[in-house]
Structure 1
């Protein structure tokens, strides 16, 4: 029964790591809303790395942010948190694979393997916390900009 739980924990941790890596590349972290407009000429998308636009003819253009230091602080912090999340997930995968009792990596000392597996679980928890902070912080800033009547950028 322990082996099944450990394998399920490894699979869930792997899926969390993959989802964090995929969400980092998704282009529509921020998307323009033109629902109340009669004429929609273009849609704007933005993520942590680039800004994209597509128009009604189907032409799609993306451009990377020109400078790291020209970005707002929360985008830089979200980038760092997401990268840290992926690194923590990789460490979690490695430590969990070594610490599983059904693996032969690391010998037969099950007490040490159990502690290593717990350390892998801690890395997975830290990965989830970093991802939740980054996504929640970014969403909070988008919501504040959307409801701020003095914000001059794209809503």
Structure 2
């Protein structure tokens, strides 16, 4: 029962994080810059410059917004292209992970036997953790890398001492923080999945004492002593495998015991 509840909770958390990241791709105000409105004068107009992954916009104090959508792909800033690609890859891998975990959950009646379902849940947790490897950044978490890359570029321009003429100092908007929360939810849900199927990685092992010291023995070695090891009686002599031959051996042992007693009497 605990395993089922933990998996359901992990499924809800990872799905919510996936939805958070998906919603940030369509949200506005990834970066914001404000100009004017200083000194408390109503004569000076206020203007907000903001951007998302698809367009740059300009909003006046009269609530009039003018936007310019990004045209050709090669005309966009390189880090915006990287953020787009990383988020799309991360969302695709996350969708595969959600499907694997849903099929492998204990409360569902699909996916096969329990060992197979545990392996599916473990695969889904790995997909949530690793995602896909990105060659330029040599990492395996594209969603988190995408937000960190965007935050890094905005912070560099915000704290730069000498900005080029015509370049604004932007601040971070709500989508970046919402995306980071979604990444944390996905990681936390993946940890819950991994806890429920930890036996896939570490199967049950028995403890035996060898020369007075405890030693762990995997399941494949159970039933074997320290001296037999890989040698089984059926491999040493084929007559040990049948019951008829074993009865013959027992009769021979009885006969030898009787002969030994008679010889001892003589």
TM over 0.5: yes
Deviates more, 1:41-50 or 1:15-24: 41-50
> Where do 1:106-125 residues align within 5 Å?
106-107=111-112, 109-125=113-129
Provide, for residues 1-58 of structure 1, a one-character-per-residue CA deviation record: whole Å limited to 9, x for no partner.
0000100110111011001011112211110133784534321111111112211111
Aligned mates of 1:96, 1:57 — CA distance in 2: 49
Provide, for residues 64-116 of structure 1, a one-character-per-residue CA deviation record: whole Å limited to 9, x for no partner.
11121112221111110111111112111111111111101222x11111011
Aligned mates of 2:78, 2:63 — CA distance in 1: 33
- Are 1:90 and 2:104 an aligned pair? no
Q: Which residue of 1 aligns with 2:7?
A: 6
Could you tell me which runs of 5 or more consecutive residues in structure 1 were left unpaired when the two chains were aligned. Answer: none
> Where do 1:6-155 residues align within 5 Å?
6-34=7-35, 37-38=38-39, 39-107=44-112, 109-126=113-130, 129-148=141-160, 149-152=162-165, 153-155=167-169
Aligned mates of 1:37, 1:125 — CA distance in 2: 46
Change (3 A) 1:35 1:82: farther
Change (3 A) 1:5 1:35: farther
Aligned mates of 1:83, 1:72 — CA distance in 2: 17
SS of equivalent residue, structure 1 residue 32? strand
Could you tell me which runs of 5 or more consecutive residues in structure 2 were left unpaired when the two chains were aligned. Answer: 132-139, 170-266
Instruction: Work out whether residues 99 and 117 of structure 1, in 8 Å CA contact, stay in contact via their aligned partners in 2.
Output: yes
Cα-Cα RMSD: 1.9
Instruction: Work out whether residues 89 and 142 of structure 2, in 8 Å CA contact, stay in contact via their aligned partners in 1.
Output: yes
* TM-score, length-scaled by structure 2: 0.54
Instruction: Work out whether residues 31 and 43 of structure 1, in 8 Å CA contact, stay in contact via their aligned partners in 2.
Output: yes
Aligned mates of 1:24, 1:103 — CA distance in 2: 31
Number of matched residues?
154
Change (3 A) 1:66 1:111: same
SS of equivalent residue, structure 2 residue 34? coil
Instruction: Work out whether residues 145 and 151 of structure 1, in 8 Å CA contact, stay in contact via their aligned partners in 2.
Output: no
